[in-house]
Structure 1
């Protein structure tokens, strides 16, 4: 369906509409259910303003791809994966030495790589040493991933090296975030009026929220360290950007649900899919009008259930989903996840970035091509290296007709 132009509110709009700034063009496809959820959020008690982005799509407690400022706290607008975000790293590996098949087999076992005592890492980050240690350094399911990337194109001064390899890690707080959210729901119910700032319930949630935010960032760092160890490389953090969080400001509480929280001058990744380009963008002063938020990725176009009728109907189609046009490989032994996370499930990340740029929120600085995307692996069923070659050959034949 079509949409009103972003940021510009019609003169005769309702009070609910006046609270919404849409940062996407009228040509951007947004599901009707997401628009309805957007209006529902704008109608919540104490809501001041809502910013919606071109990756907007329906979620469980409200739309994903928005930021909302209110005079009270709504934990449900953040959800259970508190601190989920994207971290972008540079590796000291030259692209010219990369053998994709070999890298894929090295990365297949990344979640089993030991990184020393996790308790020490937690304590160094200001958390208890026994704080959900079993999940630390793991990716999780759904749309989370660790991806080896190379520069496809970049502007001068972008801060990326065309001759090096990069990692993009998308993950969050795993069971910790779910536990925090479960606790606040159990103690306060559905919270239709939110939580008043300064109350015992709000303070307790924010303390747990801050811990989950720090845990999620450390989790992404340790995933990247495991990947770098597998690839026998060192790494450097370029950007760490959460997109499920709450910020207490001098002008209300800002909730970010699937919207990357960025300040002017910051670099941020905008993820594509395992078969499309991702983007690196520079946040501009314009993000002050969007609650310091932008899209974090392409956003879903089709829900998980409906994808089972759209892709991967047979073994050949599923094998085709495991490769891409750049010779890249996906590591995912979960057949349902392969289908649900197919590139066709997502919007066009390039169009999302173009919308953000058209409203003066960002400047695109680089595109990144996916080479190896790790999602889920069963080590006891690891295929031999020859299987990677067979899948890539199949994809080349398919792409050549």
Structure 2
């Protein structure tokens, strides 16, 4: 049994709606409208916009939702399992060679190793998308070598086995085409409608969803391995969190479904919240019980401009060549000019404000700030 019920544009939201953002943060009205529209879906209990909230394709990004009786694949989106992995690199900052690395790193195309074997090591079954395993992907995905800018919580930083004089690697990627295929199969039958929990269709979706989440985690591990091989280093995974998922949740003894659409978990330990490629990233520790934020945190800075607007505005102000270096003197590998402009730092909200909003809301404390050294996007030359 399933439902393709859609929200009414005139009815009041059935769920509690909350936007966690200070008056100093700019949140586009369309994003709030989308959040309220999703709150009208049958069974919705809570709709939370984080400080990085921005409009998406029908549903906002930077949001978390809880529902009862129904789960909504549309709210998870097409990149099931997308997330962040942070790796401690066994290489001191003083040995960083970003210019040399930028000239030779290439993560395009299938990995030359045994993809099925790599998945087996991570207890993940092949999905038919192994040609993309170990690749970053497009959009806002990246692999970034970082250095420690400042340590704010020495005890937590040390407990994670980190050292201020060593490099780090942050990988943002997902399940590549796998998640998109899963969502498309759902949308072809139900559009934006939900699935009744415990129905055969819901169980089938959740099985495929969980597979994509695990595949995405393995993908980040292989992207890290390819990056580390490219710079001649080894690394250790410090954390890995998922931004796009639906998971069961107990609330007052009742089963609910927690949907995250571009939202980091509050309940899985430390999280990295990245800025743009020309800004700091924040390693934070969640605090409090997270109930007021649907157990979720911002997953990044959040877009300020659409991709079209970014291309138009950034081209008027910068050359493509100038965008391959940042104010941190870091290097950017991105041979797709459209993507280079779309992902330029001015297209994103200030990450400092996003994290400050989370701190002031009592959701996190800052452990460390991380600065970019080399950001890898793509070698694909699309003019």
Of 77, 95, 98 in structure 1, the residue corresponding to residue 96 of structure 2 is 98
1:339-373 CA-partner distances (Å, limit 9, x unpaired): 10000000011110000011111101111111111
- 2:8 corresponds in structure 1 to none
TM-score (norm 1): 0.86
**SS of residue matched to 2:239:** strand
Of 321, 324, 335 in structure 2, the residue corresponding to residue 322 of structure 1 is 324
- 1:136 corresponds in structure 2 to 133
Q: Is the Cα–Cα contact under 8 Å of residues 152 and 366 in structure 1 kept in the other structure?
A: yes
1:215-254 CA-partner distances (Å, limit 9, x unpaired): 0000000000001111111101111011000001233111
Matches within 5 A, 1:69-80: 69-71=66-68, 72-80=70-78
- 1:277 corresponds in structure 2 to 280
Tell me, in whole angstroms, the C-alpha distance in 2 between the residues paired with 1:50 and 1:113.
39
- 1:190 corresponds in structure 2 to 191
* Of 37-46 and 151-160, the range deviating more from structure 2: 151-160
- 1:387 corresponds in structure 2 to none
- 1:151 corresponds in structure 2 to 148
Q: Is the Cα–Cα contact under 8 Å of residues 86 and 170 in structure 1 kept in the other structure?
A: yes
Structure 2: runs of 5 or more not aligned: 1-10
Tell me, in whole angstroms, the C-alpha distance in 2 between the residues paired with 1:235 and 1:111.
21
Structure 2 vs 1, CA of residues 113 and 74 (structure 1 numbering), >3 Å: closer, same or farther? closer
Tell me, in whole angstroms, the C-alpha distance in 2 between the residues paired with 1:125 and 1:99.
31
* Higher-RCO chain (CA-CA 8 Å, sequence separation at least 6): 2
Please state if 1:261 is matched with 2:258. Answer: no
TM-score (norm 2): 0.90
Structure 2 vs 1, CA of residues 191 and 297 (structure 1 numbering), >3 Å: closer, same or farther? closer
Q: Is the Cα–Cα contact under 8 Å of residues 120 and 129 in structure 1 kept in the other structure?
A: no
Please state if 1:127 is matched with 2:127. Answer: no
Shift of 1:90: 0.7
RMSD: 2.0
Structure 2 vs 1, CA of residues 17 and 343 (structure 1 numbering), >3 Å: closer, same or farther? farther
- 1:391 corresponds in structure 2 to none
Structure 1: runs of 5 or more not aligned: 1-13, 380-401
- 2:339 corresponds in structure 1 to 337
1:250-290 CA-partner distances (Å, limit 9, x unpaired): 331110000012316x1100011111111110011242331
- 1:174 corresponds in structure 2 to 176
Q: Is the Cα–Cα contact under 8 Å of residues 277 and 369 in structure 1 kept in the other structure?
A: yes
Tell me, in whole angstroms, the C-alpha distance in 1 between the residues paired with 2:21 and 2:278.
24
* Of 331-340 and 244-253, the range deviating more from structure 2: 244-253
Shift of 1:121: 1.8
- 2:369 corresponds in structure 1 to 367
- 2:4 corresponds in structure 1 to none
1:89-146 CA-partner distances (Å, limit 9, x unpaired): 1100011111221222242x23468463111122333333463110100111010000
**SS of residue matched to 1:310:** helix
- 2:303 corresponds in structure 1 to 300
**SS of residue matched to 1:201:** helix
Structure 2 vs 1, CA of residues 40 and 333 (structure 1 numbering), >3 Å: closer, same or farther? same
- 2:232 corresponds in structure 1 to 232
Q: Is the Cα–Cα contact under 8 Å of residues 122 and 131 in structure 1 kept in the other structure?
A: no
Tell me, in whole angstroms, the C-alpha distance in 2 between the residues paired with 1:76 and 1:325.
38
- 2:206 corresponds in structure 1 to 206
**SS of residue matched to 2:315:** coil
**SS of residue matched to 2:120:** helix
**SS of residue matched to 2:170:** strand
Q: Is the Cα–Cα contact under 8 Å of residues 115 and 226 in structure 1 kept in the other structure?
A: no
Q: How many residues align?
A: 363
Tell me, in whole angstroms, the C-alpha distance in 1 between the residues paired with 2:350 and 2:48.
20
- 1:392 corresponds in structure 2 to none
- 2:81 corresponds in structure 1 to 83
Tell me, in whole angstroms, the C-alpha distance in 1 between the residues paired with 2:124 and 2:325.
40
Shift of 1:295: 0.4
- 1:9 corresponds in structure 2 to none
